[in-house]
Each structure stands twice: as structure tokens, then as C-alpha cells.
Structure 1
Amino acid sequence: MKIYHYSRKTGELLGESQARENPLEPGKHLIPAHATDVEPPIPEENEAAVFDEGSQEWTIVADYRGQIFWDSDRNTHEIAELGVEPEDGWMTEEPPLTDAELAEQFEIKKENMILQLKNNANAVITSRFPECHQINLLDGTKADIPDDWDSTIRVSDYAIVKEFKQNIIDANNNIEGNITALSYPGDSIEDLEVIDISQEVIKSEAGY
């Protein structure tokens, strides 16, 4: 005799097997706990057969467990329980961004790249002359080295420092110009990402 096993917790169909004959009552079969000889209906996609021990009947319930849906505000919703259906208007794919949202993302990407570019340029300068903390010209909160600077801590020739700084700043400005020259919708975030803003590229652009 075929029997059908169901989950103790949810009642959902788990599988089937052949019941063993009762050795004490020939012709009768042993039905273990959480199993039944009542044949279940065949569920379709996004459905599950669930057994009710009280009524001894199977029912078909919605089964969207593990699926993710998006609402019109682009919020995600993952269904984790049997019997829960997606709400009206939920989509199975994330809705595309509007032109305004794409333009905003593009500008944010540009701003972040320019900020990182300046940080990298500053790092190039300070790593070249680590003990001269005033030489950072890209950060407006720091003062330039005065023209009468005369230090022997590491660099004795201010002209060398000044030239190096200016070359790095010029390189920074050139690369930044490449970034600001791009605009949405003619250009995309992928076009921005092609621009290399690494310290190595900054030094190469400056001729070092």
C-alpha cells in the first residue's frame, strides 16, 4: 500500500513510500506518524499539497517560499511561509531606474571619483615627502609651504618640493577634467569606471 509522508510542522507533502504489512494483523498495513494513505492532489507551480490531520484531507495552498519580489518603490520582499502570496503590483524583477535616478547615480559616481582622485593625489605627495605635512595643496584647509621655507628635515630644496607638488596637482586636474567632461545620458557609469584614478596613473600623468 502506498502512503504519503507530510511535514510535522507544515503538513506539506514530503514524499511517498510503500507501507509495511502489520505482522500481527495480516492484510493490514502500518502507517507511521505524519503519514497517510489518502492520495494527495497534484500541485501546480507555486503550490504545495498540505495535509490536515483533523479533517484527514489534503488542500492546495500557495507556495512562493524563497522567492523575492519588488514593489513599485523598489523595496524587496522575500516570502518565507506557506500560504503567503505576493501582493498585487509586486514584480518578479527589479523595476528599472528612471532617467532622473540614473542621472543622480551618475553624478554621485563622478563626485566620489573626484574625491578619491584627490585623496590619491594627496597620498602621492605626502608619500614622496612624508615629513613635510604642509605641502598638501589639494586640501584647502592646509597652508602651503611659505616661500622662505628652509628646512633640513628631509628636503632641503624647496623648489624640488614645489615642482613636485605642482606636477601632481596638474595631473590631478587633468584626470579630473576627463571625469567632469562626461555627462549623462550621453555617457554611462561604465564610461566613468574606465578612467583610472590610481596613484600610479597620477604619477605617470605627472611624469614620474
Structure 2
Amino acid sequence: MKVVNVNSVNHQHHLDSLQATLLEDPITPRASSDVPSSGHDPTAGDTHGGGGCCSGIVLPTAKPVQNQIQALLERHENPQKAVATASAGAVGTSFSGVSKLLRNLYLCGGSAASVPTMQQLGVTLVINATTEQELPNTPLPCDETTGYMRVPVKDNREADLDRYFNEVADRIEQESVRAEGVTLVHCVAGVSRSAS
């Protein structure tokens, strides 16, 4: 961890490191009260000497991979916590297993592709990137306005995603042109096939 004093005049030398670190491992910074009075957290990484320009806020450095994997799994295993106001969220944010990629495009795993989640997000098109054996048809809201498309792709290195790319991209584009059209793309885990 790096400790930075927010009252310092020039922190530019920390900004590049902070941005890269937060993109790799976004976590909530700890309060300065969590840092020992010397300004150096003995369990943390470099504090840049403590005191002066480098005390007050603890910036994250790399965390163990196990914690990152656990956090990802927890986000995708709890679809019942989907946020009703997801449409107001920022692009790139995650809503309990559903990630907003664009204002009208969401990505998730199969367990998060539920009727309540779709209704909360205003989904008008569901793209299921799984085989019939892996995941049966996605349940859809009871209205006839929700479209459905299955892209039968297996989750392995030999899967030919290029074969479906143009068709899926065109369908997402058509849906986004529709007034209030929102697409939800999912596979089993919401990680590789649907993101591709």
C-alpha cells in the first residue's frame, strides 16, 4: 500500500500509480485512522518514506489473486441483489452480477439473467451465449416485447466466436437504435463467451 497526504500540494507523481492500481484492483481506500501514527503500515507496501507528501490516505497495491477471484465470484453469485436503479449507473459499473458496458448493453452470468433483473434494467433483447445442454432457454418477462437470441457457443478454446460476431453485433446495434432498446448478453459465468 502507498500512503498519500491529501493536503499535499503536488501528488502528480502518485496519480499514474493510483490510476493503474485502481484499474487492476478497485477497492475502497482505507481511512487514515487505519494507518499507524508513523504513517507507515507495516503490512503495506511502500509508503514512500511516510509523513510529508505520503501520509494520510492508503492507496491499494496488488492484493492476493485469491481475494480478487473471490470478489468476482461473489458478485456473480448474488443476482438477487440487482439494483433497481441500474439504468442510472455509470458505464463500466457492476450491479450484483450484471455489468453495464454501455448505456443500453449489459453483461452477466446465467444466474443473474432473471426476470426481475431484466425488468429492473428494462431489457428488450436477451442474447444467450451457451449451448442448450449447458443452460436451458433463459426465462423472459411475460411480455412479447423482449426478444431472444441463442448463440450456441461452447466454453472452450476451440469455440468459433467469429462465426457469430457480425450477426450478434448487428442485432445489438438494431436493438440500441430502437427507442429505449436494452440488450442483456449472458453465458454461464458472464466472463469469457458473453464478453467476447
- TM above 0.5, yes or no, is no
Structure-1-length-normalised TM-score:
0.23
Q: Which has the higher contact order (CA 8 A, sep 6+)?
A: 2
Structure-2-length-normalised TM-score:
0.24
The structure that has the greater radius of gyration is: 1
